[in-house]
Amino acid sequence: MSHIFVSYRRDDSNWATDRLIAKLRDRFGHEAVFHDVDDIEPGLDFRSVLENRLTTCSILVAVIGEQWVNSKDRLGKRRLTNPDDWVRIEIESGLSKESVVVIPVVLRPAQMPSAEQVPASLSGLCYRQEVAIFPGSDFDIGFRRLSTAIDKVLRARGIELSDMSADAFGIMDSTKSNLLRNGVTIALGMVLVVVAVVVILSWNVETNSTGITQNKSLSADQQDLDRVIKRVVDNPISPEKKAEIEERHVPALGQPDYSNFEFRFDESIWSFREFHPELVSNELEYQSAMVRDRTLIVVKTGTVNQLRFQARTTGKDLIFSPKPGCPPSHIETDRSLVDTGIFRTQAKHLCIDVSEFEVNQEFAISFRTTYWDAPEEESPWFGAMSYPGCLKLKVISIGAGPNFFEKLQRKKCSSFESPLEDCNDGQWVISKDKGAFLWIMPSPEPHKIYMFFF
């Protein structure tokens, strides 16, 4: 019996779906995963087969790529508006059944659609907590979260895992355990040889067709940077002038407390395409913007109800905009200036309601911050702070044009009051025209501030 039904558009998510399905079958067993109409025998009525599969399955995984909402048919009409669209039928059927848990899987850089973007019959999908799958070397981070969610549903329904998936949990019988123990010495020797070869190869440097120069071992991350550059150029990130959530004025903001959370993954995509500090004046507003799209995978480790993020800007305003799928949130501000040790700034907090999550539960947060009208400075900068438990800190930055990051300097410090140090940590990829870069820091030191002066 197929307990997991995967719904997707082939032209929208091909780069990830085959890999996702293969890993699901490795994890839960081949028969546990229903691929799509390719699993339907010729001559059968696919509507009846889909209805039967959806009636007997426990989970529907709805894979959403960048073109999922706006995918068009041969006549140029949006597929989702067609009542006979297979993807629409699959998700409508899943949402209509109380026995089926629908999990949206969003392939970054795609975002969860809003209820206004889909037919009314699919609006329920837009309010389901999403699982983000990232391209490149970060794919397994999202898949681990998805497989954990699926396993939780199956176990709650008394559905036994396959032998293969039991191994994935580290459960093995004594025979397998003995075989593994006896093979450790041989395997270790082989690993040392492989590591030596990888170290030698890792010194090789190549330049791809788009001019990204980097180590060959980072090819997956190079493709990630290429994708983001193309997306931002083709579909510019629009700065937002008003947040669509409540803003509360409070007497004092205080300090965020991250002690009850572990941040497993932290990705920021910065766009400076609308950054024009020379246009900033006292008379005009909203002339120059820095935009940051941020996605985090977080584990709640204590019995708390709120997680708050702070942001600061030398400019006139900053706008928080949570994205679809982000937990409930609001903004708090005391309209005061804060001394960072480098300059005085305005401050706001984005407060995330995490009361619905259990202790040790993993969840995702995705939001946009727009920094408005920062004046011209001798050494403008942006950055990222590492949090406890972070397995990977990732920054992708797209400049206003070629040579935007030509004079880029990387610094780090332990606090805004401590001295700045040169930062050569992490993996570094920069475009040939110096207009974009990608930086990855595996297992960063907690509470370290990484700064990029440009």
Q: Closest by alpha carbon to 348, among 252, 437, 418, 454?
A: 252
pLDDT the model gives residue 169: 37
Show the domains of the chain with their CATH numbers: 4-168 (3.40.50.10140), 218-453 (2.60.40)
pLDDT of 192 over the 50 cut: no
Mean pLDDT estimate for the chain: 80
How would you label 297-314 residue by residue, b for 16+ Cβ within 10 Å and e otherwise?
Answer: bbbbeeeeeebbbebbbb
Q: Say if residues 363 and 144 touch (Cβ distance below 8 Å).
A: no
pLDDT the model gives residue 215: 46
pLDDT the model gives residue 330: 92
pLDDT digits (tens, 9 = 90+) for 130-148: 888 877 667 888 888 899 8
Highest mean pLDDT, choosing among 34-43, 90-99, 159-168, 215-224: 90-99
Work out the average pLDDT over 355-370: 88
Q: Which two tokens stand for residue 346?
A: 């305005």
Interacting residues of 446 by C-beta distance below 8 A, sequence separation 6+: 386, 387, 388, 389, 390
Backbone angles phi and psi of 347, in degrees to 5: -140, 145
In angstroms, how far is CA 135 from the centroid of its own chain?
Answer: 9
pLDDT the model gives residue 177: 39
Q: Which two tokens stand for residue 304?
A: 């708390």
Interacting residues of 232 by C-beta distance below 8 A, sequence separation 6+: 269, 271, 273, 398
Strand partners, 324: none
**Whole-number CA gyration radius for the chain:** 24
Q: Which two tokens stand for residue 185?
A: 């010495």
Q: Closest by alpha carbon to 164, among 155, 176, 152?
A: 176
Containing 450, the helix (H) or strand (E) segment is strand 449-453
pLDDT the model gives residue 291: 92
Q: Say if residues 146 and 103 touch (Cβ distance below 8 Å).
A: yes
Q: How confident is the model at residue 182 (pLDDT cuts 50, 70, 90)?
A: very low
Preceding omega of 42 cis (within 30 degrees of 0): no
Q: How confident is the model at residue 4 (pLDDT cuts 50, 70, 90)?
A: very high
Interacting residues of 435 by C-beta distance below 8 A, sequence separation 6+: 398, 399, 401, 402, 403, 404, 405
Q: How confident is the model at residue 236 (pLDDT cuts 50, 70, 90)?
A: confident
pLDDT the model gives residue 38: 59
pLDDT digits (tens, 9 = 90+) for 408-432: 999 998 877 788 999 888 888 888 8
Interacting residues of 197 by C-beta distance below 8 A, sequence separation 6+: none
Quickly tell me which residue has 């008003």 as its tokens: 242
pLDDT digits (tens, 9 = 90+) for 18-33: 888 888 988 898 888 9
pLDDT digits (tens, 9 = 90+) for 375-420: 888 888 888 888 888 888 999 999 999 999 999 999 998 877 788 9
pLDDT digits (tens, 9 = 90+) for 280-300: 888 888 999 999 999 888 889
Percent of the chain residues past pLDDT 70, beyond the cut: 83
